[in-house]
Structure formats: C-alpha cells, structure tokens
Amino acid sequence: MNIETTIEGMPIPAHVDPRLVVDYDVYGDRRFFETGDLHEGLYKLGEEVGRGIFWTPHNGGHWVINSHALMFDAVRNYEVFSSNNKAARHGAMVMIPSMGGDEPIFAPQSLDPPEHGTFRKPLMKAFAPAVVARMEAGIRELARDMIAAIAPLGKAEFLSMVAEPLPVTVFMKMMGMPLERIHEFRDWMSNMASDDPANRAFAFGNIDKAMGELIRERQAKPQDDLISRLLAEDVGGRTPTYDEMQAYCLLLFTAGLDTLVNAFTFGTYQIAKMPELQERIRADRSLINPLIEEILRRFAIAMPPRRVAKDAEFGGATLKQGDLVMLALPAANLDPTAFDDPLTFNIDREEQTHMTFNSGPHRCVGSHLARLEMRVFFEEWFERMPNVYPDPAEPPTYRPGLNLTICKLPLIWEPVA
Ligand code: HEM
C-alpha cells in the first residue's frame, strides 16, 4: 500500500483524498458514547463531517456512505459497488473488517446480478405477500400469548420476553429449525456481529454445522418447511447443491434471527418514551401502519458492506478496485435533505422513501414478513397493554456495529389484572 498520511498510526491509502478522512469506528464511535444513542451518534457524525462519502482508517480502512442521495445511486450501481468479495473467493460475502479470505457465501446477498437473480427468485416466491399473509393467525396467537404472559407483571425485560422470542420463533418454525436451540442460535448471532474475525469464524462454523445437519435431514425426508421447499427449487434449470443450500441457510439465519428483533426493541423503546402517542394509537388503530413506517425510518438497523469492483469516481471520492464500502442506511434515513427534522419521531410525516430495507437488486426479501409481524404485534400490544414506560432504574443497553442493536430493554407499566 502506498501510504501518504495516518490517523493515530492507522494507514491511509494514497488514492484517498486526506480531506475525506474521518475518525469513525463503526464498532465504537465516540459520537455514540457522547450521545448515548446509536442513531443519534450517526446523525451527529453527519452534522460534524457532512453527508456524502468519506474514508475511515478503522477496521482495516473503508469508505462510508451516509447521504440519502448518494446511497440511492450506490445501491443500484452494482458494477462498482459489488456485494461479492471476489478477492476472497467467488460468491464470498464482503465483511468489515475482512476475515482474511475466510468470508462465507450468503445466497443471494453476496452475489451480483445476473447470478444474484437466479438465487433471489426462490426466496421472492417464499416471502411473497400472499404466502406470508397465511402466517398471520399463527403470529397473532404467539404475540397474544407473550403479551398475556407479561401484562400482569408490571415490568419486564422486553427483549428477552417478547422482541426476541416472537420473530425468532416465527422464523425458526418457517425454516423447520429446532425451537429448543433458540438461545444457542441467538448466541451465535452475537458472535457474528463481533468486530473480531475469530468470533465470526466461530459463529459461522457452528451455523454451518447446525444448518448442514438440517439440510441433510430434509434431503433424506422433506417436511412442510422452507428448507425442504428450497431444496426442490429451480436455480437456473436445476435444484440447489448442498453448498448452495448452506449459502441460503447462512443468509436466512442472519436475516431471520436478528433484524426484526431490533425493529421491535427500537420501536417499543421509542413509544415507551411517548405516552401521548401511545394513547393516540390506542384510540385510533389506523395509525399503526404509519407508526411502523416511522419506526422503520427512524431506526434503520443494517449497514451492509460492499467491495469496489472497478476504479471509479463517486461523490467526489476516488475509489480503487478492492476498497471496502459501508452503506450506512440508518444515516441516510437521518439525512435532513431527505427528511425534515429527521431525528424527530413523527408518525404524521409524509416522506416515505426510507432506506431501511435497502433499495435496488438486494432490497430486503423479508420486508413483507417484517411489516406483517410488526403490524400484528402492535395491534395486539395496543389491544392488551396500558401505557408502558422505560424503567428509570435500568436504561437500555446498546451494541454498535454493522447491525445496530439494543441488548436490554427494561420496561414498566401498571400491572394488568
Ligand atoms: C425489520 C426487519 C428487517 C430489516 C431492517 C432488513 C433489512 C435488510 C437489508 C438492509 C437488506 C439488504 C442487504 C444488502 O443490501 O446487502 C436485506 C436483505 C435481505 N433480507 Fe432483510 N431485513 C429485515 C427482515 C428480514 C426478514 C424477517 C427476513 C427473512 C426471514 C429477511 C430476509 C432478507 C434476505 C433474504 C435478504 C437478501 C436479499 C438479496 O440480497 O437479494 N429480512 N434486509
């Protein structure tokens, strides 16, 4: 590498304009600690350094896109912003920091068009609105049971009692995964979110083994579940190989076991801070859909990485083939050029173009399921729960990283008889 300058001893490549270098560590940015809030930390970053594209030398060095307009261009331009880490091996996922060539394959997330489309199609079918709509009654029953279990208590740690078991149970049932292993699986998810490649390798190894066993079982004896259906799907005129099934399962594991959990915790924490909003929604349930869209906008979760596939000029930056790029989707949703007063939680806002599910070829396949689960949950919540409040004795705890996470959310309320 041709070194020109450094921040705290960290190298900056010569092609990076020094004016675009920012001291930003996605796994522990100082602005998060200053504001005490992951999303406010990202907003503060935009206020301090501007919105566009910048380079950080942390975590091996990578670009960060934090403007709504640039994000919209970048996510469509897969010829420059590739999801595929060819430097590791064909199809491998881009990771920040790099796993030194041990990156796993996530189908279809770590593939580029046109190959990406071949593997995305079966998932589009499996997660189509009409298919997920059939899951509504089962989701409602689960939500009711979980809410009924906590309502008389007057206090609960919301993550472990509701936000985790509800979407994870729905997903594991859909996949045909053994429900008794839920805690083990969630523990692997925490390791996957680590900035230490060794922790991630540990998680991927375990997930590979567990999902591999399930794939073999379903190959031998198909059941009424998603793994069995994917085994019979058409991927370019044939069925998926064992390795391709592993790549599907790895992605589905990460998509199904984490993102929606965070949407529930961020959203419920926000409404817990707004008692008048809770009363307004209880009186008018038609506000649940705008509530969900504002939760999704204000609290986007994922910051997916990309790898520069060819040299390019983009947003005033000179990109070199092989550079890593982080798409700070939550920051794009907090860009004042796209959303007025973006930090304010306002269910009456009209702008709808949030980037929470991304946009372009990799737009989230699970968005219909995510919205359905959120709607059913909040319908049941407002039906059965009085106003809830953050527990003043125990503030929530967070985990920064490529997926913004609340780790603990104690809530209190008047016990329901
Ligand atoms: C609120 C909840 C969710 C959020 C915020 C979310 C967010 C995202 C984002 C940002 C992407 C794009 C990744 C990229 O560009 O590389 C994505 C892709 C994906 N999501 Fe979700 N997701 C959620 C729920 C789910 C659920 C419940 C599932 C399924 C169980 C799911 C399945 C997928 C799949 C399969 C992809 C890959 C699509 C592709 O590469 O073509 N997601 N999601």
Q: Could you name the CATH architecture of 3-387?
A: Orthogonal Bundle (1.10)
167-186 per-position pLDDT tens digit: 999 999 999 999 999 989 98
190-226 per-position pLDDT tens digit: 888 888 888 888 988 999 999 999 999 999 999 999 9
| Residue 1 predicted with pLDDT over 90 | no
Residue 171 CB–ligand 1 contact under 6 Å:
yes
Residue 168 CB–ligand 1 contact under 6 Å:
no
Q: Is 324 helix (H, G, I), strand (E, B) or coil?
A: strand
User: Nearest 5 degrees, angle CA 353-CA 336-CA 96?
Assistant: 75
Q: Residue 5 — pLDDT band, cuts 50, 70, 90?
A: low
Residue 256 CB–ligand 1 contact under 6 Å:
yes
Q: Residue 86 — pLDDT band, cuts 50, 70, 90?
A: confident
Q: What pLDDT sits at residue 100?
A: 84
Q: What pLDDT sits at residue 6?
A: 63
Mean pLDDT of the chain: 94
Residue 120 CB–ligand 1 contact under 6 Å:
yes
Every domain of the chain and the residues it spans:
3-387
Q: What pLDDT sits at residue 87?
A: 80
pLDDT, average across residues 80-84: 96
Residue 118 CB–ligand 1 contact under 6 Å:
no
Residue 38 CB–ligand 1 contact under 6 Å:
no
pLDDT, average across residues 106-112: 94
Residue located via tokens 């979980």: 146
Pocket of ligand 1, candidates 118, 364, 368, 378: which has the most ligand atoms within 8 Å of its Cβ, to mutate?
Answer: 364
pTM: 0.96
Q: Which residue has the higher pLDDT, 208 or 70?
A: 70
Contact (Cβ atoms closer than 8 angstroms) between residue 155 and residue 413: yes
| Residue 343 predicted with pLDDT over 60 | yes
276-310 per-position pLDDT tens digit: 999 999 999 999 999 999 999 999 999 999 999 99
Contact (Cβ atoms closer than 8 angstroms) between residue 25 and residue 58: yes
| Residue 3 predicted with pLDDT over 50 | no
Contact (Cβ atoms closer than 8 angstroms) between residue 100 and residue 387: no
The length of the chain is 417
Which residue CA neighbors atom 1 of ligand 1 most closely? Answer: 260
Task: Find the 267 Cα to ligand 1 centroid distance in Å.
Answer: 18
CB atoms within 10 A of CB 5: 13
Task: Find the 90 Cα to ligand 1 centroid distance in Å.
Answer: 21
Which residue CA neighbors atom 7 of ligand 1 most closely? Answer: 357
Nearest atom, ligand 1, residue 171 CA = 30
Residue 366 CB–ligand 1 contact under 6 Å:
yes
Q: What pLDDT sits at residue 417?
A: 84
Lowest mean per-residue pLDDT among 143-157, 253-267, 358-372:
253-267
